Amino acid sequence: MESSSEGVARTGDGGAVEDPAPTVPAPVEAGVPEAGVPEAVAVEKGAVESVGPESVVAAVTAIAPAPRSPSAPASLSPSRAGDFMQCPLLYRFRVIDRLPEKPSPAATKGTLVHAVLERLFDAPAAERTAPRAKSLIPGQWDRLRETRPEVGELFADDPEGERLAGWLVEAERLVERWFTLEDPTRLEPAERELFVEAELESGLRLRGIIDRVDVAPTGEVRIVDYKTGKAPRAEYADGALFQMKFYALVVWRLKNVVPRRLQLVYLGSGDVLTYDPVLADLERVERKLLALWEAIRLATETGEWRPRPTKLCGWCDHQAHCPEFGGTPPPYPLPVTLPVRAAESEDGAQGRMGPG
């Protein structure tokens, strides 16, 4: 981070949008679109601001893991909070049934770009240049294919490699744009890809991964998240900031420190969205999360997971199981009388910050 308290202020101009006071967002019909995909796709680790059908934003996971055994919800992340608010049945399919999903080009590109920006900070400050960052892309793509073989399906029908080449060029452009928004030679992140987890007094366990944490010499904390899509319109800014306020809440509960600044860097449009939270913001988010978790608990106990049709349904992998498309959900894998605690910790720890 910069060597002054300015290290927690906006880095770069980039058409940043200020959000001086939290407001109730207008209804969202199609979410915040990612670059190259109309009407809505995945935002990495994204979610929404308010609880209820009147405020809906997609939060689609980047790469789906292999199917696992069904289980009751035990914690909440920004992505899963967004899933439930978008469509309770989608939440069930992902969290309880754990149905497989196909990787998408947009989300996989986001994963690749995130890996490149994380690895760039391994180099000395003077060597953090755009050419060096772009040179990391082939190696990180190879690594991604090794660790997540399912992404190989994306270009299985591209024997000549033309689509893959174009896709990698798009990733290069996103990486290059970052250098117009921030100067990595002046940044020394305190943390990158930081796993955070905290248990609230209610027992609800919150968890997530923060792209970058900067700490100024004066101790002020900035939380930064990269987005490979475009910045939302001003009326949807609160929804876009929900994820960041979620992380700020976890950091406050873990460290008793309210982050000085929350910053979203939109590589798809070259914008930077910043917000300076206050304690009341975090308390408000905590109340909303508790209400959301209660709704999830009731749905888990009753087995009532209703679909909520939106324009986002066109990108859902689970149409074959959705009643809105003539499908039938899998048999509910949990007892409908199952008592659900807000969250349980296997090791009894109250929270942690570190590798996930």
pLDDT recorded at residue 44:
35
Residue 57 pLDDT greater than 50, yes or no = no
Share of the chain above pLDDT 90, in %: 68
Residue type, 228: T
Comparing 355 with 310, the larger pLDDT belongs to 310
- Whole-model pTM over 0.85: no
Bridge partners, residue 17, by sequence: 273
Per-residue confidence band for 355, with pLDDT thresholds at 50, 70 and 90: low
Asked if residue 9 has pLDDT above 70, the reply is no
Q: What pLDDT does residue 48 have?
A: 37
Closest CA to 343 of 29, 26, 76, 157: 76
Q: What are phi and psi of 150, to 5 degrees?
A: -65, -20
Predicted local distance difference test score (pLDDT) of residue 152: 86
The strands making up 205-215's β-sheet, listed across from edge to edge, are 17-18, 271-275, 261-266, 221-227, 205-215, 191-199, 351-353
From residue 128, how far is each of 22, 265, 286, 300 by CA, in Å? 35, 18, 38, 48
Which percentage of the chain shows pLDDT scores above 70? 75
Residue type, 164: L
What is the structure's pLDDT at 14? 33
Looking at residues 36-64, what average pLDDT do you find?
34
Predicted pLDDT at 238: 85
Confidence of residue 70 (pLDDT cuts 50, 70, 90): confident
Q: Give the number of other Cβ atoms within 10 Å of residue 197's Cβ.
A: 23
Decide if pLDDT at 24 tops 60.
Answer: no
Mean pLDDT, to the nearest integer, of 208-214? 98
- The residue among 20 and 75 whose pLDDT is bigger is 75
Question: Which pLDDT belongs to residue 205?
Answer: 97
pLDDT by residue (tens digit) across 239-298?
Answer: 889 999 999 999 999 999 999 999 999 999 999 999 999 999 999 999 999 999 999 999
What phi and psi values does residue 331 have, to the nearest 5 degrees? -55, 135
- Does residue 188 carry a pLDDT above 80? yes
Contact, 112 vs 174, CB < 8 A? Answer: no
How confident is the model at residue 55, as a pLDDT?
35
Residue 204, pLDDT above cutoff 70: yes
Instruction: Give yes or no for residue 30 having a pLDDT over 60.
Output: no
- Of the candidates 313, 316, 317, 320, the one whose C-alpha atom is nearest the C-alpha of residue 29 is 313
92-113 pLDDT tens trace: 999 999 999 999 999 999 999 9
pLDDT in tens, 111-129: 999 999 999 999 999 999 9
Least confident segment among 15-29, 51-65, 66-80, 88-102: 15-29
Q: How far apart are CA 192 and CA 197, in angstroms?
A: 15
Q: What confidence score (pLDDT) does residue 113 get?
A: 98
Give yes or no for a contact between 320 and 307, defined as CB atoms under 8 angstroms apart: no
Q: How far apart are CA 338 and CA 313, in angstroms?
A: 30
**In 3-state terms, what secondary structure has residue 214?**
strand
Residue from 341, 334, 339 nearest 304 by CA? 334
Within 8 A by CB and 6+ apart from 260, the residues are 8, 216, 220, 221, 222, 276
pLDDT band at 67 (very low <50, low <70, confident <90, very high): low
Residue 350 has a pLDDT of: 52
Residue 151 confidence (pLDDT) above 60: yes
